[in-house]
Each structure stands twice: as C-alpha cells, then as structure tokens.
Amino acid sequence: FAENKIGVVGLGIIAMFALMAVAYPILMGTVWDANTYDPIVGYDYNQVEQPAPPSAAHPLGTDPLGRDVLSQLLYSTASEFALGVVAALVTIIIATTVGAVSAYYG
C-alpha cells in the first residue's frame, strides 16, 4: 500500500479529516471561548473589521457576521465525515450485491 502514492495521499486526507473531527470537541472544551468560537452564534467582540483577515486569533479569518471560519470548518467536519463513511458503506454493499449476482448468473 505504501508504494501507491495516490493511496497514501488519500489516506492522509482521510486521516486529516478524522483528526479535525476529533479536534473540534477538544478545542471547544479546553482552549476556545464558546462565546467567540461557537460556529453558529459565536461572535468576536474584539474584532472591529468584518470579515476579518486571518490572524493569530482566527487562523482562517472570520465571515461577514464575525464568526470564526476555522471553528465552522471543524464543526461541520464530524457530520460530513460520518456522511462520507455511510456513503462508502452503502456503495460497498450495493457493489458487492451486484457483483455477486452478476457472477452467479454469468
């Protein structure tokens, strides 16, 4: 598997999304202030310019409503990652069924 560069890159992308899905609850519980970094109603009161460019407090900047873009990205990653896994499993089930039926009936 390690010899296939595309496979290694794909595994790296999947690992990155899995890490992002795990990182969000940890960051919200420890480091990030919920009033500022909540992806739905969070607002940085210290931020004058909106949308704000990337900074130390907001690595990806803020949207026009003052919400942190990185927290929105991390918040949505868990549900989108689960959706991708479910879609892959459904595809495997359908492909295996169609392949088995076509192999049986030739």
Tokens of 37: 């970094």
**For each of the chain's 106 residues, which pLDDT tens digit applies?**
788 999 999 999 999 989 988 888 888 888 888 877 887 778 777 776 778 889 888 899 888 888 888 888 888 888 898 899 999 999 999 999 999 999 999 7
Q: Where are the domains of the chain?
A: 5-105
The pLDDT value given to residue 48: 66
Would you call 81 helix, strand, or coil by DSSP? helix
* For the chain, counts of helices (H) and of strands (E): 3, 0
Question: What's residue 57's pLDDT?
Answer: 84
